[in-house]
């Protein structure tokens, strides 16, 4: 089977075995396929070393617990699997994708009465970290109402709201969206959003309205290292539109500046000084791996 954009010799993991991607098959009754009943993780890897792996595996635990799937592996099991995926990576800079669904059962919304084995899937893809152009030119975004459900803290594979938001950005000819729920900042389609106002770094509070990115905690640590005040609080759309700087973070974007929102420049319209300092720290951390 040819999968557009994927090398046919890519090795993936499915339920205990490694195989070529075209050979990996799940049942049409997998609850991940039928209901989006599953969760996932994306771990960035630099020089063959997974970045902040303990944080990612903690979040995987939290996501599984939130949807009441027993964790199919202990910590050592996940680490071994991640190591085996990295060995199969086309590049030492890559991202490991892990997904667990409730498993295969007769289609019925409620959980299966008899215990079933979860479906465990893993793959690894080369990752291209943001290059000079993206770092220097920054991103353009549009604002969008956040129309997702009220459990955005779960890293669920039910991503239709995020998919439609990202497509709205593509349709508008911009890089991404920044979403607002009831007039307050939530997040991007697959990133956390940060603003700088009056020399202070601000982000929406960690709650059920956003996914707590692994870089959420990291940005707080980096801010502390450089003596940058940080506060998590509700941020109105007016505040965000008038912010001195806006940034986004994710495993693959790392940290990137947003220079335009809804067609208007953010601050000077160029990547700002706070971004530059945080970016420098992020790069230093990766280089130290
Ligand atoms: N929010 C959403 C909705 C995301 O999909 C992501 C990317 N996983 C993030 C935030 C950022 O999380 P992380 O820093 O762990 O990549």
Looking at the predicted structure, is the pLDDT value of residue 58 above 90?
yes
For the chain, residues classed under CATH 3.30.470.10 are 11-126
With cut-offs at 50, 70 and 90, classify the pLDDT of residue 63: very high
CB atoms within 10 A of CB 121: 20
What pTM value is reported for the model?
0.97
Q: Can you give the pLDDT at residue 1? A: 73
From the candidates 155, 166, 237, 253, give the one annotated as an active-site residue.
155
With cut-offs at 50, 70 and 90, classify the pLDDT of residue 146: very high
185: left (phi over 0), alpha (psi -120 to 50) or beta: beta
Q: Whose CA is nearest to atom 13 of ligand 1?
A: 213
The hierarchical CATH code for the domain 11-126 is 3.30.470.10
Pairing of strands 200-203, 230-232: parallel
Question: In testing the pocket of ligand 1, which one of 205, 208, 250 has its CB within 8 Å of the most ligand atoms?
Answer: 250
Residue 132 annotated in active site: no
As a dihedral over the C-alpha atoms of residue 211, residue 212, residue 213, residue 216, rounded to 10 degrees, the angle is: 140
> What is the distance between the alpha carbons of residues 286 and 160, in angstroms, rounded to a whole number?
32
Pick the CATH number of 132-287 from 3.40.50.20, 3.40.50.720, 3.20.10.10, 3.20.20.70: 3.20.10.10
Average pLDDT for 204-228: 98
Q: Whose CA is nearest to atom 9 of ligand 1?
A: 191
Looking at the predicted structure, is the pLDDT value of residue 186 above 80?
yes
Q: Can you give the pLDDT at residue 6? A: 75
Ligand 1 centroid vs 113 CA: distance in angstroms? 33
The Cα diameter of the chain in Å comes to 60
For the chain, residues classed under CATH 3.20.10.10 are 132-287
Query: Counting atoms of ligand 1 from 1, which one is nearest the CA of 162?
Result: 3
Share of the chain above pLDDT 90, in %: 96
Q: Whose CA is nearest to atom 4 of ligand 1?
A: 190
As a dihedral over the C-alpha atoms of residue 169, residue 253, residue 245, residue 163, rounded to 10 degrees, the angle is: 30
Are 15 and 32 a contacting pair, CB within 8 Å?
A: no
Phi/psi at 39 (5° precision): -135, 170
> What is the distance between the alpha carbons of residues 179 and 147, in angstroms, rounded to a whole number?
9
Q: Which of 3-7, 218-222, 267-271 has the lowest mean pLDDT?
A: 3-7
∠19-21-22 over CA atoms, to 5°?
Answer: 105
Q: Can you give the pLDDT at residue 4? A: 75
Ligand 1 centroid vs 209 CA: distance in angstroms? 12
Are 249 and 213 a contacting pair, CB within 8 Å?
A: yes
Question: In testing the pocket of ligand 1, which one of 191, 220, 285 has its CB within 8 Å of the most ligand atoms?
Answer: 191
Average pLDDT for 48-53: 98
């Amino acid at each position: 089977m040819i999968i557009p954009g994927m090398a046919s010799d890519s090795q993936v993991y499915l339920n205990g075995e490694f195989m070529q991607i075209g050979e990996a098959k799940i049942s049409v009754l997998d609850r991940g396929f039928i209901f989006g009943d599953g969760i996932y993780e994306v771990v960035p890897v630099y020089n063959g070393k997974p970045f902040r792996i303990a944080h990612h595996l903690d979040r995987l635990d939290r996501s599984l617990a939130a949807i009441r799937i027993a964790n199919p592996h202990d910590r050592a099991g996940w680490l071994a699997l991640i190591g085996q995926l990295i060995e199969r990576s086309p590049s030492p800079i890559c991202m490991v994708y892990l997904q667990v669904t409730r498993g295969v059962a007769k289609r019925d919304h409620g959980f299966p009465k008899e215990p079933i084995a979860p479906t465990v899937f893993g793959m690894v893809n080369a990752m291209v970290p943001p290059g000079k152009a993206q770092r220097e030119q920054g991103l353009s975004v549009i604002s969008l109402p956040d129309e997702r459900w009220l459990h955005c803290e779960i890293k669920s594979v039910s991503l239709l709201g995020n998919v439609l938001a990202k497509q709205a950005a593509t349709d508008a000819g911009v890089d991404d969206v920044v979403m607002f729920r009831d007039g307050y900042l939530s997040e991007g389609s697959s990133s956390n959003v940060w603003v700088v106002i009056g020399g202070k770094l601000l982000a929406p509070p960690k709650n059920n309205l956003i996914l707590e990115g692994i870089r959420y905690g990291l940005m707080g640590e980096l801010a502390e290292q450089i003596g940058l005040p940080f506060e998590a609080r509700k941020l109105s759309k007016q505040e965000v539109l008038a912010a001195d700087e806006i940034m986004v973070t994710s495993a693959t974007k790392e940290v990137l500046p947003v220079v335009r929102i809804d067609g208007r420049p953010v601050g000077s319209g160029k990547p700002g000084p706070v971004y530059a300092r945080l970016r420098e720290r992020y790069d230093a951390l990766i280089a130290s791996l």
